[in-house]
Amino acid sequence: MANSSCSDVKVLGAWPSPFVMRVRIALNIKSVKYEFLEETIGSKSQLLLQSNPVYKKIPVLIHGGKSISESLIIVQYIDEVWSSGPSILPSDPYDRAIERFWAAYVDDKFFPSMQLINTAQGEEKAAKVEQVTEGLVLLEEAFQKSSKGKAFFGGDRIGFLDIALGPMLGWLRAIDKMGGVKLLDEVKTPGLVQWVESFCADGAVKGVIPDIEKLLEILEKMKGN
């Protein structure tokens, strides 16, 4: 395990970002102390531009003066560096590959469709709601296979896919409330409904996922722009 003081580990990000939440949850799982450097939404600090000159996006993990970018890459880095803490990725190569596949699905397909529900209207909105609902059904199937009857995708404790999907929950609930839709359904996705409760109650997650009311304020602003 890498011993790090708070000054050795910094997270550059903004509290509403689900991608930043991933990094913070992973560090909490490993009991790593870190300094959170808050970025202002809509602007890019000089430190961010220096730390991530290629994408110029949050989150960035700064460890021992070195910068690592892209949330899922950062989570894997955290798992490897602080290896004596609870494992985030499965030890079995096949299980690791499956979790990486679904994590990529969350980023490439699921989250972009979810984001568009807030601004879409009429038939376009109905189509996006259907896409997200279909995505949740697929993720329900993945949950049933990966969890093997336990509380998390990772089994008895939070794992890589839990971290990939879990931070989307606050936004999912806020979109539900604002759009008058119900995306998580006890009939279609019973496993995910139970998983949400387990995930949000975990000590590594508490205090990281924001209150829905705060996210609703941001959605209102986004809709007005």
Residue 38 counted as domain residue: yes
The answer to whether 132 touches 183, Cβ cutoff 8 Å, is yes
Domain stop point among 49, 81, 113 = 81
Position 176 scores a pLDDT of 86
Q: What is the mean pLDDT of the chain?
A: 93
Q: What one-character DSSP code corresponds to residue 211?
A: P
pLDDT band at 181 (very low <50, low <70, confident <90, very high): confident
Q: Quick check: 37 and 10 in contact, CB under 8 A?
A: yes
Instruction: Please determine, for residue 9, whether its predicted confidence score (pLDDT) is greater than 80.
Output: yes
What pLDDT is recorded for position 225?
57
- Of 59, 81, 103, the domain-final residue: 81
Other beta carbons less than 10 A from residue 125's beta carbon: 16
* Per-residue confidence band for 223, with pLDDT thresholds at 50, 70 and 90: low
Lowest mean pLDDT across 1-10, 46-55, 83-92, 214-223: 1-10
Residue 3 has pLDDT above 60, yes or no: no
From 90, 79, 63, 70, select the one nearest 30 (Cα to Cα). 79
Residue 87 resides in a domain: no
Residues 188-197 have a mean pLDDT of 95
Proportion of the chain above pLDDT 90, given as a percent: 76
The residues, any chain, with a CB within 8 Å of residue 102's CB and separated by 6 or more, are 139, 142, 146, 153, 161, 164, 165
Give the per-residue pLDDT at 5: 60
User: Are 98 and 69 in a shared domain?
Assistant: no
Distance of CA 55 to the CA centre of its chain: 19
pLDDT score of 54 more than 90: yes
Residue 134 lies in a domain: yes
Establish if 86 belongs to a structural domain: no
Selected residue with higher pLDDT from 6 and 159: 159
Are residues 123 and 23 part of one domain?
no
Model confidence pLDDT, tens digit, residues 14-29? 999 999 999 999 999 9
Supply the CATH number for residue 184's domain: 1.20.1050.10
Please state the rounded mean pLDDT for residues 150-174.
95
Quote the number of domains for the chain: 2
pLDDT band for 4, please (50, 70, 90 cuts).
Answer: low
Burial track 54-70 (b if 16+ CB lie within 10 A, e otherwise): eeebbbbbbbeeebbbb
Structure tokens at 62: 């700064």
Residue 95 pLDDT exceeds 80: yes
Largest CA distance in the chain: 53
Is there a single domain that holds both residue 70 and residue 28?
yes
DSSP 136-176: HHHHHHHHHHHHTTSSBTTBSS--HHHHHHGGGHHHHHHHH
35-38 vs 9-13, strand pairing mode: parallel
Distance (Å) of CA 37 to CA 3, 24, 114: 20, 12, 27
77 and 129 inside one domain = no
What the block records as the tokens of 120 is 């879409």
| pLDDT for residue 6 | 65
Shared-domain flag, residues 70 and 105: no
Residue at 88 is within a domain? no
Q: Do 143 and 206 fall into the same domain?
A: yes
Both 74 and 137 in one domain: the answer is no
Residues 70 and 99 in one domain: no
Higher-pLDDT residue of 196 and 118 is 196
- Is pLDDT above 80 for 196? yes
User: What's the CATH number where 40 sits?
Assistant: 3.40.30.10
pLDDT of residue 167: 96
In single-letter form, the type of residue at position 2 comes to A
Q: Residue 25's domain spans which residues? A: 6-81
Based on the fold, state whether residues 28 and 57 are members of the same structural domain: yes
pLDDT at 1: 47
State if pTM tops 0.85: yes
* Residues 74 and 100 occupy one common structural domain: no
pLDDT band at residue 115 under the 50/70/90 scheme = confident
- Give me the half-sphere count of Cα atoms (radius 13 Å) on the Cβ side of residue 112: 5
Do 108 and 182 belong together in one domain? yes
| Token pair for 176 | 């539900």
Judge whether 211 and 36 are in contact, CB under 8 Å. no
For the chain, counts of helices (H) and of strands (E):
10, 4
